[in-house]
Each structure stands twice: as structure tokens, then as C-alpha cells.
Amino acid sequence: MDSEVPEARVVVGVDGSPSSYAALRWALRYAGLVGGVVEAVAVWELPGLYGWSGPAVDMDVDAEEARDRMRQELTDVLGPAEAASVRSHLVHGNASDVLLRAAEGAEALVVGSRGRGGFARALLGSVSQHVSQHATCPVVIVRADQKPADQK
């Protein structure tokens, strides 16, 4: 019988923060161990879109330009060879919801401990906390690379 085994997917949330870059590197190493592929997901949401007044931002987001910036960011973080092996997705919506949907059936969902927003003293960001409680697959939360105390 010909039955295809689905390929192992490792989904990683990328938002430009140091901890998301650490999560991306972790996901790439893990995918290599399990023979899987990395799917990097960047999420954008227009602030103020659902208020009583019109949005205060340009509704014409240049998706192609954003995809190009994401590919460049992946190359900057991983290098050209590794970045070429990563499947990148730029999705509009709520970050937690998008990541949870993307991770359905995945080997793991990898996120940084804190993203670009949030409070500096928070142990976990709202997205990492939410996905850790609601994902249907294992969740790995990666802290940003820390420099030793003697290297400031």
C-alpha cells in the first residue's frame, strides 16, 4: 500500500524580537533532528481597526514588500543556506490565533518568550502564554540569547 507519511513541520513565530530569532534558530536545529521542515510565521494586524472611528493607518499594506523584508530578516538571522530551507508565511490576523491554526498537526510550535511588545518585566509574553495553554501540539518557549554577565 502506498501511504504517504506527512512531513514533520516545526512552526515558529517570528516578530523581529531577539527571542523570536532565538526561537527560529532553535526550530531549525530541532527540525534537523526530526527530519522536518521549518515554517516561519509572521503575523501582522492593523491597530485600531475595530474601533468606532476609521483606522489611523494605511490600509494598503504592501504584502510583497513585507514578504521580501521577512526573507531578508531570515537570511540575516540564519544565513543564506539555512534561510532558503525555511518556508515563510506572512499572515494577517491575531498572532495567537494565527499561530495556533498554523501549528495544527505540527511536530512543535516554537515561540520566543517575549515579543516586540509587552512589559519588560514580564516573564512570558501574552502570545507565548496563550499558545502554551491552547496549542494541540508541544510548545517550546525560547528565551533570547543571553550574554554572560562579564560581556556587557
Residue 143 has pLDDT above 70, yes or no: yes
Residue 130 has pLDDT above 80, yes or no: yes
Residue 141 has pLDDT above 60, yes or no: yes
For residues 38 and 32, give the distance between their C-alpha atoms in angstroms, rounded to a whole number.
Answer: 9
For residues 105 and 42, give the distance between their C-alpha atoms in angstroms, rounded to a whole number.
Answer: 19
C-alpha cell at 2: 502506498
Confidence grade of residue 151 (pLDDT, cut at 50, 70, 90): very low
Q: For residues 11 and 108, is the Cβ–Cβ distance under 8 A? A: yes
Task: State the residue for C-alpha cell 522536518.
Answer: 36
Residue 71 has pLDDT above 70, yes or no: yes
Classify residue 128 as left (phi > 0), alpha (psi -120 to 50) or beta. Answer: alpha
Residue 55 has pLDDT above 80, yes or no: no
For residues 118 and 51, give the distance between their C-alpha atoms in angstroms, rounded to a whole number.
Answer: 21
Query: Could you tell me how far CA 150 lies from the centroid of its own chain?
Result: 30
Residue 105 has pLDDT above 50, yes or no: yes
pLDDT: which is higher, 150 or 110: 110
State pTM to two decimals: 0.81
